Amino acid sequence: MDTILFVDDEPTTSTQPLRMLLEAKGFHCVSLTDMTSALEFLRKEQVSVLVTDIMMPSGDKFPGIDSSETGFHFVGRVRSEFPDVGIICLSVIGDQSKITKLKKQGVLYLRKGETPLDTAARLIESKATGTISY
């Protein structure tokens, strides 16, 4: 069973319906609200896909970094420490240069609140299983 890790400081409103849909498809979904806990989890458990917000409080792993930038540092850390983990950003950032920065790191960007739930679930499932589903 593939594990999908959701990291969002507001998980109930933004990711709960998506998690429920993926769990119904047989995925093991874990939701954490901060990047520090997520890094600890990644070090202990095998995760297929990380679905993360970008704008979150910095926490103790990224002190002094503006909340609009912490997710980029987090993604970079995950990419370097766990290169086999697929990363999907589910956020509301609208700055095209920041989205391009994510894509250059191999991150799929989905706009929170605009990407249909079933589309987001299919893309996450595809990333987890390595298959394309339509």
Task: Give the model confidence (pLDDT) of 37-81 as tens digits.
Answer: 999 999 999 999 999 998 776 655 555 555 556 788 889 999 999
Q: Is residue 49 part of a domain?
A: yes
Q: Is residue 134 part of a domain?
A: no
Q: Which residues neighbour 60 within 8 Å (Cβ) at sequence distance 6 or greater?
A: 36
Q: How many domains does the chain have?
A: 1
Q: Is residue 68 part of a domain?
A: yes
Q: Is residue 72 part of a domain?
A: yes
Amino acid in position 18: L
Cα four-point dihedral sign 61, 30, 50, 84: positive
Q: Which residues neighbour 28 within 8 Å (Cβ) at sequence distance 6 or greater?
A: 1, 2, 3, 4
Amino acid in position 1: M
Q: Is residue 122 part of a domain?
A: yes
Instruction: Give the chain's mean pLDDT.
Output: 86
pTM (global) more than 0.85: yes
Q: Is residue 97 part of a domain?
A: yes
